[in-house]
Amino acid sequence: MSDTLRIAGAQLAPVWLHRDGTIARVVQSITEAAADGIALLAFPEAFVPGYPFWIEHTDGARFDSHMQKVLHAHYLDQAVQIEAGHLDPVVDASARHGMAVVLGIIERPRDRGGHSIYASCVTITPAHGIVTVHRKLMPTYEERLSWAPGDGHGLRTTRVGAFTLGALNCWENWLPLARAALYAQGEDLHVAIWPGSVRNTEAITRFVAREGRSYVLSVCSVLRRDQLGEHIPFVDELRGRLPELLSEGGTAIAAPDGTWIVEPTPHVEQRFVADIAHHRVREERQNFDVAGHYGRPDVLQLHVNRERQAMARFDGGEVPRVALT
């Protein structure tokens, strides 16, 4: 097994609030990255079909607002149902090009009734397809008007080459125990997905790298007001209310000693690439291994509930059908 891995963060704009258009952009990016020998490609938080930027700027907390209801219904319509096969083109592209993918989606799962949505981070591998769906543990601020809180089911790591990959959504990267759950599983390549802001990535990317003695890839989107399409409800009103720059980017990559490989970079749409070497992880863990020789499970130990949460549990199997006479 090679000690090195070529990774990249796709700092792109989604086709905002359009699922199929954005998925096509994801597939195109995977195809283009394959020509550069990328083995792992990561996309921003909520990339498919996009982050709910309208809430902050349109009085999103107003109860029973017609505008908020219409926009929310459209958001649900454009959200991803994995069980409906919406991500099949991405899974196929991953397999075709031998590339692992980390993708932020707005998930509309049937297992919670089919009408609530989650900011989910999906990990896809060429051999096994979708291996992890991590629903964001706690939406931040106005996100709670749109997204439901997730659970611990997706707090899992995945082997990619010589590395053990883990990923978290946006501000849950600041949760010490969420990070600890991944460290405990041997994580040495951490992907942090964000909607897009240098102020979000400039401090925490290096901090997590230094704490975990791991490589950290933070990936962001960029989106301008003039990229809003006519398919969006209330698009003219949104163009009048939303700022010119909705998301500025800020994708960055840090080494296991906390130094920059790629400094946070705003405004441009591009793919940020790094060749990473696992021996650098082993070198830095000589003096600090948070889940290994520096851990004290006899004193401090984390319990993680990875059960997928559900509204009801049914015991006893199928109810027999009774013939009516």
Q: How far apart are CA 186 and CA 166, in angstroms?
A: 9
The question of whether 45 is a catalytic residue gets the answer yes
DSSP state letter for 110: G
The question of whether 69 is a catalytic residue gets the answer no
* Conformation bin of residue 141: beta by default, left when phi > 0, alpha when psi is -120 to 50: left
* Given 107, 121, 136, 187, the catalytic residue: 136
Q: In this structure, what token pair is assigned to residue 126?
A: 């060429």
Beta strands in 137-239 (DSSP E): 158-160, 163-169, 189-193, 215-219, 222-224
How many other C-beta atoms lie within 10 A of the C-beta of residue 176? 10
The question of whether 136 is a catalytic residue gets the answer yes
* Given 107, 121, 143, 170, the catalytic residue: 170
Name the 3-class secondary structure at 130. Answer: strand
Q: How far apart are CA 141 and CA 70, in angstroms?
A: 21
Give the closest residue to 306 by CA, choosing from 157, 163, 94, 100.
157
Catalytically active residues are 45, 136, 170
